[in-house]
Amino acid sequence: MSQNYKDTLNLPRTDFPMKANLAAREPEMLKAWEEAGIYRQIQKSREGRELFVLHDGPPFANGDVHMGTALNKILKDFVVKSQTMLGKRAPYVPGWDCHGLPIEYKVVKESRELSPLEVRKKCEAFARKFIDIQRKQFKRLGVFGDWEHPYLTMDPKYEAEILRALAVFVEKNLVYEAQKPVFWSTGAQTALAEAEVEYQERDDTAVYVKFPVVGGARSPNALANTSIAIWTTTPWTLPANLAIAVDAKENYVVQEFEVVHASDSLRGESAGADSGESRNRDGRTTLVLAEKLIPRFSAATGLQPVGKPLASFPGADLEGVKARHPFLDREVPIFTAGFVTMDSGTGAVHIAPGHGADDYVLGRKHNLPILSPVDDHGRYTDEAGLPNLTGKYVFDANADIVELLRERGTLLGEEKFHHSYPYCWRSKTPIIFRNVDQFFIRIDALRGRALQAIHEEVKWIPAWGENRIAGTVESRPDWVISRQRSWGVPLPVFYRAGHLSASSSEERNRDGRATSEAILDPTVIRKLADLVAQHGSNIWFEWDDAALAKEVGLPLGTTKGTDTIDVWIDSGVSHKAVCAVHPELRDPADMYLEATDQHRGWFQSSLMTSIALNNRAPYKMCVTHGFVVDVDGKKISKSGTYEKPTAADHFVGKYGADLLRLWASSIDYTTDVPFSEEIFTRLGDTYRRIRNTLRILLGNLHDLPNTRSSRADPAHAGEVEGARDETLKVAHRDAKPGLAASGAASTLVGTTLVDRWILERLDEVIATCRSAYEKFEFHKVYHAINQFCAVDLSSLYVDITKDRMYCDAPNSPRRRATQMAMREVFEALCSLLAPVLVFTAEEAWRYSAVAGIADAGQPGSVTPVTRSVHVQEFPQTQGRGREAIEQVEELLRLRGIIGQAIEQARQEKVIGNTLEARVVLNSDSDVTQKISKEELEEFFILSDLTIQQAKEASASVTKTPYEKCARCWRHRPSVGTSKAHPDLCDRCESVVAGADAT
């Protein structure tokens, strides 16, 4: 009999599925959005609003979207969607970085022997393919934007802007030409990037060489008649030697050595006759070298120390000392440098600024010429100062150099040295470091203003970003903007007739600088830019020199260069090529948002170009996020012994995009971002909690008449039974449009403490979330909403109001009041969640809109998208205060005391179900006097409560003597008093009787 009563309850009803099935459902939603053009609709809805420009840093069009890229795009989408829902117009124009070595490398690897033009065409196809792949994957993540009109750095119009920017740099005298050593393949006669270098094992002749000390300002007396001993595995670089480097802190000694036994390696010593001052009469020699390396030196050369060191001092004391080149008429200075190591050699490093990266930097620091007397094929030029060897391949010349050292008596020893050495991946020839003409941007001209902008004009999130970028800007050397590559925007340099080659040594002066043949002319560059805008940059490769020269107004015989522009210029001018010219955007942008590596990358390159062009930063704010790391805090690629999937697609397919987004919202992105399968499993629980909360709210709202719109959904019109509900008529009449309507909910007849409380709490959650969104602290949104759903709603509000929701008459005032509150909560939750759970929020929103629960948007429009949750604005707080919150906090304290007493009673088997308990509460709070006993019983979810005021709070539990109501399951004194329904309490009896009557 009792089971019949189930039909008289108002149980929750909704079609909103409990199981999300995101992987299957999300694509359907995407399709609907796409068909409706949701991005355009959103932009339209914000016409005339305050503008917020998040400018997209272009990812490289190469490979699949991995977790790091996904995190970046999702965070950007959080910003764009939340700014939109805060009421602003926040357009999002995504972009791709298209040029650059990684693509060119892959293309060339696949098919060799291609002309530059063929390489470029294949590169473009490659880039376009991955743009399509990534675009699909980004869209799948629920990221809204102008995906059909992204900016591409290889678009002719974009390329033209790069060139125009360069014209300005040239005009402002920021560009100069100089030389810099690069990896050079003598086999392919081309510069190589680090990625194109492969290492092979190789035997070389390593030599110990002495540089006789000739004095110097701070030279200690002890250095008279001594020589600095150096060691090198590349004797062929000695003609380019211009200095020696030592470590400042390591200890160096002046030590006498003697020959202990004759050996091949010492032929140089025995033959040496005129080596001069460092040689003692008795065949001994006095050398300066690092103390630590003496044993190794002795073992390699057979020279044994004689007695104690004559002097001992830190390397810093050698700074400024001069030594004579072992075979050229040249004095070379000694410097201290950080890169000197003590694992091999003598602690004194031979420096050839034209043949090594460290050497080059040190040489620049001390204004040494950058000498590199080697041609494209790796043959000595006459600049080497060794006429006999001019034209000889340097690796073949090693033996000649050793012989020369021996002749001059400066060879201390030689040894076979086995090491790994860089080789050209294509020609398989050993690589050399060699000078090539390069173009630079003068950073010193921009540095001061850049630092000022960093410190005074840009907001950095997190704040330490300011320190970080300032540090890199302070120490950054001049910017090398030329690349010896094919896949890039051509560097618009022409050469006057007669110029041989961009890298030919013959054209250089003695100090290693190129004779200035290059034409860098702003007018010419701008003409070229116009041509490129029209035809694309391939014309540089397709048109011959004469045609190009004619078009840009240069005389016949002018030739074009072959370099391309550094891709960091490409992306670095996006503020000019995109923000400044796109009708929906603005330069400066409000925000750039990238991973922390971009402090040195895009943030800096963009800042420099913007200072150069506009004398200001291109952004008002830079936000950075950390890298995705494994659960043990290690970089994903480094952890574990097996390959773990890192492609975003894998996780989207397994868990759904909303889960990825929930993950992105749950973490504090300012530091390393932890990521693991376990984290995803936990997030699934959180997700289900949020989803079920939305679902129970929807279920409880199924019979709430639509008071928002005069246009009832015809499909559900018959269900709007509450139209005759007096309470709601009051509510409706007082209601103002939009969310203000719900302000009436808390003053409705029938409103109880819990309703006031949940709405006050909602106010707090709205305030927290709005503030967190405004400050881009998304994980605070996550935690606030999670807490609200799990604690306030699920375990309290929904649980407490179940009795009235299920058992009261459908239109009882307190039930309707609760529904009004629930509707407000539901709408607010959907909106606040929408930037994160883009699919789920929309899905719930649709179910509610169909049921006439949520705000249906503009009346008269039937397009579902115009009702999309993503067009909504975040709810505003209603200024409800904290009165109910404070009361509930008191009650929750008492609830804990009751809970413990009940738990004990349950363990003692006094009761099973909580509703069987008779509770006597000794309350120390005055709240229990202000709130009616009936409300308190409901709040504590009890059948039988007695309150007594006391000094100390306590509770006692016995089994209630009352009978259980067959309908509401509470044990009430009124059960049995009705003749018609003796198994019901009075409340349920009247509800059932009332229903029978209609």
Partner RNA sequence: GGGCCUGUAGCUCAGUUGGUUAGAGCAUGCGCUUGAUAAGCGCAGGGUCACUGGUUCGAGCCCAGUCAGGCCCA
Show the tokens assigned to 496.
């006057």
Using a 10 angstrom Cβ sphere, with 0-12 exposed, 13-18 middle and 19 or more buried, the burial of residue 171 is: middle
Show the tokens assigned to 190.
């081309």
DSSP E strands: which ranges in 841-982?
917-923, 944-949, 954-959, 963-964, 971-972
**Does residue number 699 form part of the binding site for RNA (CB under 7 A)?**
yes
- Select from 467, 515, 949, 977 the one that contacts RNA (CB under 7 A): 467
- Select from 783, 882, 893, 959 the one that contacts RNA (CB under 7 A): 783
Which string of x and - marks every residue 873-892 that binds RNA (by CB under 7 A)?
--------------------
**Does residue number 238 form part of the binding site for RNA (CB under 7 A)?**
no
Q: How far is the CB of 105 from RNA (least distance, A)?
A: 18
List the interface residues with RNA, window 631-660 (CB under 7 A): 631, 633-635, 638
CB distance 887 to 930 below 8 Å: yes
β-bridge mates for residue 919, sequence order? 945, 957
Q: How far is the CB of 909 from RNA (least distance, A)?
A: 9
Show the tokens assigned to 129.
């393919």
Q: How far is the CB of 634 from RNA (least distance, A)?
A: 4
Q: How far is the CB of 713 from RNA (least distance, A)?
A: 24
User: 72 vs 786, which CB is nearer to RNA?
Assistant: 786
Query: What is the H or E stretch that residue 138 is in?
Result: helix 116-140
CA distance readout (Å), 899 to 319, 417, 933: 79, 80, 18
User: 396 vs 903, which CB is nearer to RNA?
Assistant: 903
Using the rule CB under 7 A, give the single segment among 265-273, 343-351, 470-478, 520-528 that binds RNA: 470-478
Using the rule CB under 7 A, give the single segment among 1-9, 230-238, 415-423, 513-521 that binds RNA: 1-9
List the interface residues with RNA, window 950-979 (CB under 7 A): 966-969
Q: Are strands 331-336 and 303-314 parallel, antiparallel or unpaired?
A: unpaired
- Select from 2, 515, 534, 977 the one that contacts RNA (CB under 7 A): 2
Q: How far is the CB of 481 from RNA (least distance, A)?
A: 16
Q: Which of these, 743, 773, 780, 734, lies nearest to 877 by C-alpha position?
A: 743
Q: Are strands 197-215 and 190-192 parallel, antiparallel or unpaired?
A: unpaired
Which string of x and - marks every residue 410-449 that binds RNA (by CB under 7 A)?
----------------------------------------
Q: Are strands 251-259 and 285-290 parallel, antiparallel or unpaired?
A: antiparallel
Q: How far is the CB of 914 from RNA (least distance, A)?
A: 6
Q: How far is the CB of 732 from RNA (least distance, A)?
A: 28
Show the tokens assigned to 166.
């360069």
CB distance 476 to 454 below 8 Å: no
Length of the chain: 998
User: 275 vs 686, which CB is nearer to RNA?
Assistant: 686
**Does residue number 674 form part of the binding site for RNA (CB under 7 A)?**
yes
Rounded to 10 degrees, the C-alpha dihedral 808/812/817/819 comes to 60
Q: Which of these, 19, 170, 14, 10, lies nearest to 684 by C-alpha position?
A: 19
Using the rule CB under 7 A, give the single segment among 516-524, 584-592, 622-630, 762-770 that binds RNA: 622-630
What region does 950 belong to: left with phi over 0, alpha with psi -120 to 50, or beta? beta
User: 88 vs 600, which CB is nearer to RNA?
Assistant: 600
User: 38 vs 348, which CB is nearer to RNA?
Assistant: 348
List the interface residues with RNA, window 321-340 (CB under 7 A): 338-339
Which residue in this structure is represented by tokens 């942008």?
589
Using the rule CB under 7 A, give the single segment among 168-176, 540-548, 662-670, 955-963 that binds RNA: 662-670
**Does residue number 945 form part of the binding site for RNA (CB under 7 A)?**
no
**Does residue number 679 form part of the binding site for RNA (CB under 7 A)?**
yes
Using the rule CB under 7 A, give the single segment among 323-331, 395-403, 582-590, 661-669 that binds RNA: 661-669
Query: What is the H or E stretch that residue 518 is in?
Result: strand 518-519
Is 213 strand, coil or helix?
strand
- Select from 315, 413, 430, 626 the one that contacts RNA (CB under 7 A): 626
Query: What is the H or E stretch that residue 840 is in?
Result: helix 838-850
CB distance 807 to 992 below 8 Å: no
Instruction: List Cβ neighbours of 455 (8 Å cut-off, separation of 6 or more).
Output: 466, 470
Using the rule CB under 7 A, give the single segment among 280-288, 389-397, 400-408, 781-789 that binds RNA: 781-789
List the interface residues with RNA, window 807-866 (CB under 7 A): 807
User: 732 vs 906, which CB is nearer to RNA?
Assistant: 906
List the interface residues with RNA, window 895-924 (CB under 7 A): 895-896, 899-900, 902-903, 906-907, 912-914
Q: How far is the CB of 758 from RNA (least distance, A)?
A: 13
CB distance 986 to 972 below 8 Å: yes
Number of residues that bind RNA (CB under 7 A): 80
User: 792 vs 842, which CB is nearer to RNA?
Assistant: 792
> What is the full DSSP assignment across 853-890?
-S---STT---GGGG-GGGS-PPPP----SHHHHHHHH
Q: Which of these, 49, 143, 60, 31, lies nearest to 90 by C-alpha position?
A: 49
Q: How far is the CB of 483 from RNA (least distance, A)?
A: 15
User: 657 vs 690, which CB is nearer to RNA?
Assistant: 690
List the interface residues with RNA, window 16-55 (CB under 7 A): 18-19
**Does residue number 943 form part of the binding site for RNA (CB under 7 A)?**
no
β-bridge mates for residue 73, sequence order? none
Instruction: List Cβ neighbours of 964 (8 Å cut-off, separation of 6 or more).
Output: 915, 916, 970, 971, 975
**Does residue number 284 form part of the binding site for RNA (CB under 7 A)?**
no
- Select from 73, 695, 702, 981 the one that contacts RNA (CB under 7 A): 695
Sheet of 175-185, strand order: 190-192, 175-185, 431-441, 479-480
**Does residue number 358 form part of the binding site for RNA (CB under 7 A)?**
yes
**Does residue number 790 form part of the binding site for RNA (CB under 7 A)?**
yes
Q: How far is the CB of 301 from RNA (least distance, A)?
A: 29
**Does residue number 689 form part of the binding site for RNA (CB under 7 A)?**
yes
Q: Which of these, 56, 38, 48, lies nearest to 144 by C-alpha position?
A: 38
Name the H helices within 366-508. 394-408, 444-452, 465-475
β-bridge mates for residue 629, sequence order? 635, 674
CB distance 82 to 507 below 8 Å: no
**Does residue number 720 form part of the binding site for RNA (CB under 7 A)?**
no
**Does residue number 596 form part of the binding site for RNA (CB under 7 A)?**
yes
Q: How far is the CB of 338 from RNA (least distance, A)?
A: 5
Q: How far is the CB of 526 from RNA (least distance, A)?
A: 32
Which string of x and - marks every residue 518-557 that binds RNA (by CB under 7 A)?
----------------------------------------
Instruction: List Cβ neighbours of 448 (8 Å cut-off, separation of 6 or more).
Output: none
Angle CA(903)–CA(908)–CA(914) in degrees, nearest 5? Answer: 40
Is 658 strand, coil or helix?
helix
Which residue in this structure is represented by tokens 């080059």?
360
**Does residue number 686 form part of the binding site for RNA (CB under 7 A)?**
yes
Q: How far is the CB of 193 from RNA (least distance, A)?
A: 13
**Does residue number 562 form part of the binding site for RNA (CB under 7 A)?**
no
Show the tokens assigned to 100.
């650059």
List the interface residues with RNA, window 473-502 (CB under 7 A): 475
**Does residue number 468 form part of the binding site for RNA (CB under 7 A)?**
yes
User: 128 vs 689, which CB is nearer to RNA?
Assistant: 689
- Select from 27, 471, 653, 859 the one that contacts RNA (CB under 7 A): 471
- Select from 137, 285, 707, 786 the one that contacts RNA (CB under 7 A): 786
Sheet of 619-625, strand order: 54-55, 589-595, 619-625, 459-461
Q: How far is the CB of 912 from RNA (least distance, A)?
A: 4
